[in-house]
Amino acid sequence: MTYKNWKLERETDGESGHIAWAILDVAGASANALGAEVMTELGQLLDDCEKNPPKALIFKSGKAAGFIAGANIEEFAQNDTPEKARAAVQRGWDVYERLSRVNFPTLALVRGHCMGGGLELALACRYLLAVDEPATKMALPEVMLGISPLWGGMKRLPERIGAPAALDMMLTGKTINAKRAKSMGLADECVPPRVMENAARMLVLSNTPRRELKFMDKLMSGPLKSMVANGAKKQVAKRARPEHYPAPYSIIDTWQNYGGNGLAIPADKPTSLDSLMAHPTTRNLIRVFFLQDRLKAFGKDAKGFEPKHVHVIGAGVMGGDIAAWCALRGMTVTLQDQSVERIAPAVGRAAKLFEKKLRDKKKARFALDRLIADPKGDGVRQADVIIEAIFENLDAKQKLFADIEARAKPTALIASNTSSLKLADIASTFKDPSRLVGIHFFNPVAMMPLVEVVAGEKTAPEQAARAAAFVRKIDKLPLPVKDGPGFLVNAVLAPYMNEALKCIDEGMTPEAIDAAALAFGMPMGPVELADTVGLDVAKAVGEQLVKSGTPPKKVLDLIAAGNLGKKSGKGFYTYVDGKAQKGVVPQVGAGDTAILADRLIAPMVAATQKLVADGIVADADLADAGVIFGTGFAPFRGGPINYSKSTA
């Protein structure tokens, strides 16, 4: 039998039967995603194997991109009735149940990404062999889309690695590399690529029994189950309220009470598949997933641009962290400032970042070797990308760029990280102003996924496309914006923070204001945010970007008293070890909190709508994406414009 998306290859080894290889190579796609057709064909492939049983069956990918990227989300999102969603889930659940029971040994040879439904397939096999290379990553990330691993992952993962580790993976969606997968028992073996096929043949025929769960893990899936479930619920409650994010609570309930079978939950329960599918969060998170893909696609329009060397000028808060991030992502980086002394603190911060992110001394050392202090700026001549991040002064930037333009390679991308200067003004002293583009990072660089790619009046479109490609190369999300005060993100944040500060002048407490924003789903309250960026900076940005009304008075008083926020230990809050010391939140009804939240969010929504109307960002969807990834705007609300439509 031939399949559209699978190949079934049987290899003979002479007298004693054969090993069959099920190779997934989804037609017309660069990565394997599991849609209805692929799953139906998997059932037929199992029919085929049962009719003519192999000695063993090994699954592998026919794609260079990886093993399996997960379920076909686009297709899943089209299930617009509970019946259709249940049918799609049932199909996956049934075929993996069947796979788990075939009477020949099975193995998943996992190389590259193995996500969601892909990992559930691997878990339904008897063995999982992980190939040890950086691209190999396993995860059950369904929770990030507001759903749960419904094809048997919730049942099989705890059986394999114990409930605490399994819940941790399913509730956070975190990825596990090959070595870690082996050490935690998710993978049976971890081997280098050159021996993977032989290792797969040997392991699948080895008859090795499954590693038994540790005694404590058995208890935790038995008598201590409700204790584990309650602990997990408490952990989840710290990050996500059930009314905002029902999926993690559904995962815990499914594991605790339904043997990992989400289909067994009655439709009228809030943790059921039907309830999840009907919840606006699921729709919005799936929307955010596609928006993220749209941002990623902006990096694809500069074919042939392969930047390897980045030169950063200005080793301050931003330049230092941009340089560190680029080195972490494999670039060679030269970092320039006025003296070595000014570069040293940035290198110190970079060393800490590498240790934290790479968790491997040798790799951290290599990353540090890629970050080169360059006080004289010799790197400008060789660099593929040059990013200016000196202080916000037009004259200083123009002088610096005159030198850069004269010395840079003709093919080098020249960028500024300016937040508030007009790109066209900086470019006005260029010989060729079409070369300058804005690459605007957010603080803290390591945590913020978005980078605005700013096209000034004269910026050549191909330079903006190359800038977006560079942003993807360092694993950030590029958002193309036009040159305008505050671009998108700051122009949206400023009126929101200003409204919060006005509330303070009216006598509300910072605690009440921040609590309302948190209840709405913001990652941090606007008052604490103002303290964090620095009240002097917040005031300056507010004056520039919020044209109406007078500046909030309490801010001016605090600044006059030298209380600039977190950096000086006191602002609206007092800071101990970097943490805001908050007083009691006054008890008000949920209705009042929601009214206050709406008051804070309204200027943000209005600003976003205006920026779309002014063409600063191409359309409302991209604006929503930018505000979510650039400010942390509650993702489950799908962005400010999407939110305003839902409340209209």
Positions in the binding site for ligand NAI (CB under 6 A): 313-319, 336-338, 342, 389-392, 396, 400, 417-420, 441, 443
26 or 493: CB nearest ligand NAI: 493
Reply yes or no on whether 103 is catalytic: no
Name the active-site residue from 417, 440, 498, 563: 440
Least gap, CB of 196 to ligand NAI (angstroms): 44
Element (H, E) at 10: strand 6-12
12 or 420: CB nearest ligand NAI: 420
How many beta carbons lie within 10 A of that of residue 559, not counting itself?
A: 19
Q: Between helices 117-124 and 153-161, what is the axis angle to 10°?
A: 60
For residues 427 and 402, is the Cβ–Cβ distance under 8 A?
no
Strand, coil or helix: 203? helix
Residue 487's region, left for phi above 0, alpha for psi from -120 to 50, else beta, is left
Least gap, CB of 397 to ligand NAI (angstroms): 7
What is the radius of gyration, based on Cα positions, of the chain?
A: 27
Length of the chain: 648
Contacts 24+ apart (CB under 8 A), 439-443: 439/387, 439/415, 439/467, 439/470, 439/471, 440/487, 441/318, 441/321, 441/322, 441/417, 441/476, 442/489, 442/630, 443/317, 443/318, 443/321, 443/533
Least gap, CB of 393 to ligand NAI (angstroms): 8
Reply yes or no on whether 490 is catalytic: yes
85 or 390: CB nearest ligand NAI: 390
Least gap, CB of 379 to ligand NAI (angstroms): 12
Name the active-site residue from 221, 419, 498, 563: 419
**Cβ neighbourhood burial of 279 (10 Å; 0-12, 13-18, 19+):** buried
CA distances to 385, 403, 596 from 601, in Å: 37, 44, 9
Could you give the angle at the alpha carbon of 245 between the alpha carbons of 257 and 291, nearest 5°? 130
148 or 417: CB nearest ligand NAI: 417
Closest to 635 in 3D by CA, of 273, 175, 244: 244
113 or 342: CB nearest ligand NAI: 342
Least gap, CB of 415 to ligand NAI (angstroms): 11
Q: Between helices 489-505 and 526-533, what is the axis angle to 10°?
A: 110
3-state secondary structure 164-175: HHHHHHHHHCCC
Name the active-site residue from 41, 189, 388, 452: 452
- Tell me the sheet residues that pair with 83: none
Reply yes or no on whether 212 is catalytic: no
Residue nearest to ligand NAI as judged by C-beta position: 316
Dist. CA 188–CA 197, nearest whole Å: 15
Q: Which two tokens stand for residue 270?
A: 């809030």
Reply yes or no on whether 440 is catalytic: yes
Question: Which of the residues are catalytic?
Answer: 419, 440, 452, 490
